[in-house]
């Protein structure tokens, strides 16, 4: 039965798994059925797609550290708010090791678990020197902080508490409940591309409210088509070929949500929230740019207002600070409030 071999053999199965549309259909269905979110988490565990990738994940956290230093901010002694914890508290743990006083991290989804957190902490123990060097901290201090946590703790609170990390789920970064001007840093890694524009604007406004006057909002995000990481046959701008209506099924809703915003739109959202950009660094993916320019990636008219380079941006790094309040606007709003209270 040779035909069976060719249809169902390992190579065919690999081809199916690697085809982005199969993954997209699976996620679209799981997003729409009861219990789909739990099934998704289970599948991820089985496939190992949320396993710790120490080099990659640590480097992402350290990129935030680099951005903060580049924008003249500091981590030691700071109060930090993280948007979108995800599966592992890599960013909060690295910031804690570098001397942050308090790290509040929130997520609308329950991805973080005690085993993931403990595994991450144990793995970080092998990289203290690198963390100290890149974070500009003394190795002795980082080692000392590492000893204050018990990786065998029985609850997340017991594991994270001694590190000054407060994890909140379910919690929405649009309404943190934190006092005005109580945080030095608002950070996120690989989160903003998963948040619709109107919600992102509210998150930036909330960041603006909770940041101290000299505070920084520091984000790194990934505006590329995430399906290109499982299917090498598509470029990471592949999703630009679809209308919003078509994309809604593949990745415009539910578990695989990606907003497909292009970099000028992200820039506008920061500015609309009165966050002025110290750093806005973009990376253009050359393969995608080439495909757009030679016509092999036909871009939908919804994106035609962007240049080919803007369409092909696949990573962005941002450091923004509270824009100086316009005195005229502040005076007008103060007088409005005093009139109201009369
Ligand atoms: C792709 S994950 C990234 C997680 C983590 N930062 C990382 O790098 O592994 C994006 C996370 O943002 C969370 N998220 C989305 N909208 C949010 C919101 N409004 N407030 C807080 N978290 C949110 C999602 O639930 C998800 O866990």
How confident is the model at residue 296, as a pLDDT?
98
How does the average pLDDT of the chain come out, rounded? 90
Residue 164 CB less than 6 A away from ligand 1: no
Whether the CB-CB separation of 209 and 323 falls below 8 Å is answered with no
Please write the tens of the pLDDT for every residue from 246-267.
999 888 778 889 999 999 999 9
How confident is the model at residue 75, as a pLDDT?
98
The domain segmentation of the chain, as residue ranges, is 54-220
How confident is the model at residue 3, as a pLDDT?
34
How confident is the model at residue 81, as a pLDDT?
99
How confident is the model at residue 12, as a pLDDT?
54
Tell how far the Cα of 259 is from the centroid of ligand 1, in angstroms: 13
- The answer, yes or no, to whether the previous bond of 108 is cis (omega within 30 of 0) is no
Closest listed residue to residue 67, CA positions, set 319, 329, 336: 319
Residue 50 CB less than 6 A away from ligand 1: no
How confident is the model at residue 6, as a pLDDT?
41
Q: Taking the mean position of all CA atoms in its chain, how far away is CA 108?
A: 13
For a pocket test of ligand 1, which of 113, 191, 203 has the largest count of ligand atoms closer than 8 A to its C-beta? 191
Q: Which residues of the chain fall below pLDDT 70?
A: 1-17, 48, 325-342
Q: Tell the residue nearest (CA) to atom 10 of ligand 1.
A: 191
Q: What's the pTM value of the predicted model, to 2 decimals? A: 0.89
How confident is the model at residue 263, as a pLDDT?
97
How confident is the model at residue 37, as a pLDDT?
77
Please write the tens of the pLDDT for every residue from 162-220.
999 999 999 999 999 999 999 999 999 999 999 999 999 999 999 999 999 999 999 99
Q: What is the fold of 54-220?
A: Rossmann fold (3.40.50)
How confident is the model at residue 94, as a pLDDT?
98
Tell how far the Cα of 84 is from the centroid of ligand 1, in angstroms: 3
Report DSSP letters for 166-197, one per residue.
EEESS--TT---PPTT-EEEEEEES-GGGS-H
Residue 195 CB less than 6 A away from ligand 1: yes
């Amino acid at each position: 039965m040779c035909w069976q071999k060719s249809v169902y053999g390992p190579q065919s199965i690999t081809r199916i798994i690697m085809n982005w549309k199969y993954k997209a259909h699976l996620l679209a269905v799981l997003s729409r059925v009861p219990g789909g979110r739990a099934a998704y988490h289970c599948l991820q565990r089985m496939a190992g797609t949320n396993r710790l990738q120490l080099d990659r994940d640590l480097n992402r956290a350290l990129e935030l550290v680099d951005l903060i230093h580049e924008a003249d901010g500091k981590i030691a002694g700071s109060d930090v708010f993280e948007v979108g914890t995800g599966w592992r508290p890599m960013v909060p743990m690295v910031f804690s090791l570098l001397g942050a006083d308090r790290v509040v991290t929130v997520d609308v989804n329950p991805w973080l678990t005690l085993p993931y957190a403990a595994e991450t902490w144990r793995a970080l123990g092998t990289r203290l020197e690198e963390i100290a060097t890149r974070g500009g901290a003394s190795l002795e201090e980082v080692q000392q902080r590492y000893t204050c946590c018990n990786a065998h703790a029985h609850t997340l609170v017991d594991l994270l508490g001694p590190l000054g990390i407060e994890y909140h789920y379910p919690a929405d970064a649009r309404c943190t409940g934190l006092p005005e001007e109580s945080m030095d840093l608002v950070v996120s890694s690989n989160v903003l591309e998963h948040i619709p524009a109107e919600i992102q604007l509210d998150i930036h406004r909330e960041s603006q409210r909770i940041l101290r006057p000299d505070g920084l909002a520091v984000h790194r995000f990934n505006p590329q088509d995430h399906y290109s990481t499982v299917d090498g046959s598509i470029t990471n701008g592949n999703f630009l070929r679809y209308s919003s209506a078509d994309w809604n099924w593949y990745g415009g809703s539910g578990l695989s949500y990606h907003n497909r915003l292009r970099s000028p739109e992200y820039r506008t959202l920061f500015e609309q929230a009165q966050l002025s950009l110290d750093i806005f660094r973009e990376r253009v993916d050359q393969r995608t740019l080439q495909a757009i320019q030679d016509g092999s990636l036909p871009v939908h008219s919804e994106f035609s207002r962007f240049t080919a380079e803007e369409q092909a941006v696949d990573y962005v790094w941002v450091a923004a600070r509270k824009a100086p309040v316009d005195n005229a606007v502040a005076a007008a709003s103060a007088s409005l409030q005093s009139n109201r209270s009369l």
